[in-house]
Structure 1
Amino acid sequence: MPNERLRAVMADGGWTYSSLAEKVDVDPKSVERWVNLGRTPRRGTAMRVAEALGEDMHALWPALRPVRAERAGSTELVALYAQRADTPVSTFVDMLDQARERIDVLVYAALFLHETYPRLNDLLSKRAAAGCAIRIAVGDAGSENVRARGREEKFGHGIESRCRLALMHYRPLIGVPGIDVRTHGTTLYNSLYRADDHMLVNAHVWGVTAYGAPVWHLRRSGDGGMFDTYAESFDAVWSTATPVPHEE
C-alpha cells in the first residue's frame, strides 16, 4: 500500500527519489519502496528523512510510534520510546509548557532542548512568572563522574564541554524569580524532566549516549509509585547540588 503522506510531502517540497536519497544517504530504490510499497525504514534512517522533510517521523511511519501504556502494563506509564532520539521534541516542550506548579530538570547537558527549541528560556521564564517553581540541575564539568561518563561513552572531554555549554544556555535565567539553577557532580543514572505530575525519564545505558537510550513518560497516580521514586531521586541530587552564582 503506497505511503500517500510521504508522497505528498515530497511533492510539496519538490523532492525526487534521487534528491531525497542523496540527502539521507540511501539508495533511490529504497525511497521508491517507501513511497510506492509503503515500506518502513529503520528508525535512524526514518529520523534523517523526517528531519530533511521537516515532518514528524511518527506521522510519516505510524509503525514507528512508541509502545503505549496499555501494552506496557502500568497505570503510571504513559508511553515508552526506544531511544530519546525517537521522542518528539514537542513531547518535552508541551509537557513543560503545561506545568502550573513545578518544573524539575536533572541532566548533565541535554543540549538538544535548547538546540531544537531556542525559545526554551522564554518558556521557562513565562512559567516562572505564572507562579511555577523551577529547578534546573546540570552537570559540573569539573566533576569526576562527568569525566567518567565521557570515557564510558567514548566521548572524552566532549561531555565536559557540553556541560559548560548547557550552563551557558541556562545562565540568563540565573536570578529570575522562581528559577533556581545548580550544578551537580553525581553519577547520573537517569536524566529527569518533570512538569507537575508528568515526568520524562531518559534512562542511561553504559557506553551509550543519552540520545540512544530509552525514555519513559510517567504520570503520577498515587503515593509511592514509580513517579515518586524518581521525584525523590531528584530531591536527593538537588540537596547536594551547588547554586550557580550571578556573574559580576
Structure 2
Amino acid sequence: MANERLRAVMAAGGWTCAMLAGATDVDPKSVERWVNLDRIPRRVTALRAAETLGEDVHALWPALRQGRKARAVNAELVALYAQRADLPVSAFVDLFARAREHIDVLVYAGIFLHEAYPRLNELLAERAAEGCRVRIALGDADSANVQQRGVEERFGHGIESRCRLALMHYLPLLGTPGIELRLHDTPLYNSLYRADDQVLVNAHVFGVNAYAAPVWQLRRVEDGGLFDTYAQSFAAVWDTARPVEGEA
C-alpha cells in the first residue's frame, strides 16, 4: 500500500525522493519506501520530514499518533477535529485564499465566517477576479428543512434568522463575475467548505449545534474517493438550488 497522502504533498511542493532524502539525511531508498510501501520512519525522522514539507506529521503518518501498529483510516483524511470550534477561522480563510479554480460553500447559514473575518467578501471577490469559480449555497429560511433543523437543535426560529443574516452578508457579491449565490431547501447532512482539491466537512449531528459537531479535512488523491463523494454531494444540492436575484 502506498502513502498517497505523502505522495500528494511531495508532488504539490515539487519534492523528489532524492531531494527529501537529502533534506532529512536519509537514504533515497528509504523515502521511496515511505511513499511506495507506506513504511513509517522513526519519529525524529518523520518530524524532520514533516517540517521540511510544511505538513503536520500525523497528517502524513497517522500511525505515529497511536503507535506503529495503527493504520491510517483513509489516504484522503488529512485531519479530524472533535468539533468545529477547535478550528480557528483562519483555517477556513487560508483554505479559500489558496484556491485557484474552485471555492464551494454549502451551509444553512455559516455566519461565523463573516463574524470572525469581515473581509470574507473581499477575499472571495479577489479569488473570483483571479479566475476562481465561487459558488455559495445557503439555506432557504422559509424551507421546512431549515425550520425542522431549528427544532432538532433546540434553536427555534434562530436558525431561520441566521439564514437571513447570512444572505444579507453575501448579497453585496451579487453581480460579481465568477461568483454565484443560491438558496437550497435540502436536509443538510454536512456543511462543506471546499477550495480546489481540499474540503472541510462539518458533520451535522441530531440535537447538536454545528460548532460542537466534528470536522474532517480531506485532500483529493484519487478518483472516486471520499473527496469526490462530497464534491458530488455539493453538485447535487447546487443543481436543485435557486439563484438569488437581488432579494433580501
Q: Kindly report which structure 2 residues correspond to 1:145-184, keeping only aligned pairs within 5 A, or say none.
A: 145-184=145-184
Structure 1 residue matching 2:61: 3-state secondary structure: helix
Structure 2 match to 1:214: 214
Q: CA deviation at 1:210?
A: 0.2
5+ residue gaps in structure 1? 1-64
What is the CA RMSD across the aligned residues, in angstroms? Answer: 1.7
Decide whether aligned partners of structure 1 residues 106 and 223 sit closer, same or farther in structure 2, where only a CA change above 3 A counts. same
Measured after TM superposition, the shift of residue 241 of structure 1 is 0.2
* CA displacement, residues 1-40 of structure 1 (integer Å, 9 cap, x when unaligned): xxxxxxxxxxxxxxxxxxxxxxxxxxxxxxxxxxxxxxxx
Letter in 2 for 1:97: A
1:94-147 CA-partner distances (Å, limit 9, x unpaired): 000000001000000001000000000000000000000010000000000000
> Residue in 1 aligned with 2:232?
232
Matches within 5 A, 1:107-122: 107-122=107-122
Q: Which amino acid aligns with 1:70?
A: W
Which position in structure 2 is the counterpart of 1:88? 88
Residue 247 of structure 1: how far off its partner (Å): 4.9
| 1:202–1:216 contact (8 Å) kept in structure 2 | yes
Write out the 4+ residue segments of structure 1 that deviate beyond 3 Å after TM superposition: 67-70
Query: Is 1:107–1:191's contact at 8 Å kept on the other side of the alignment?
Result: yes
- Cα distance in structure 2, aligned partners of 1:238 and 1:115: 25
Match of 2:223 in 1: 223
Structure 2 unaligned blocks of 5 or more: 1-55, 63-71
Displacement of 1:246 in angstroms is 2.4
Counterparts of 2:174 and 2:215, CA distance in 1: 28
Deviations along 1:32-78, one digit per CA (max 9) or x if unpaired, are xxxxxxxxxxxxxxxxxxxxxxxxxxxxxxxxx9x746335321011
What does residue range 54-133 of structure 1 map to in structure 2 within 5 Å?
Answer: 68=59, 70-71=61-62, 72-133=72-133
Q: TM-score, normalised by structure 2?
A: 0.72
Query: Does the alignment pair 1:241 with 2:232?
Result: no
Secondary structure in 1 aligned to 2:137?
strand
Is the 8 Å Cα contact of residues 69 and 79 (structure 1) preserved in structure 2? no
- 1:199 maps to amino acid: V
- SS of 1:80's equivalent in the other structure is strand
Distance 2:241 2:123 in 1: 24
* TM-score scaled by length of structure 1: 0.72
- CA distance in 2 between counterparts of 1:164 and 1:112 reads 14
1:142-196 Cα shifts (integer Å, max 9, x gaps)? 0000000000000000000000000000000011000000000000000000000
Provide the rounded CA distance (Å) in 1 between the counterparts of 2:247 and 2:112: 25
- Distance (Å, rounded) in 1 between the aligned partners of 2:230 and 2:191: 10
Deviation at 1:222, TM superposition (A): 1.1
Contact 1:69/1:80, CA 8 A, preserved across alignment: no
Question: In 2 relative to 1, CA 83–247 (structure 1 residues): closer, same or farther, beyond 3 Å?
Answer: closer
| Local SS of the residue matching 2:176 | coil
The corresponding residue for 2:189 is 189
Equivalences, count: 184
Give distance in 2, aligned partners of 1:190 and 1:156.
20
User: 1:140 corresponds to which residue?
Assistant: 140
The amino acid that maps onto 1:108 is: Y
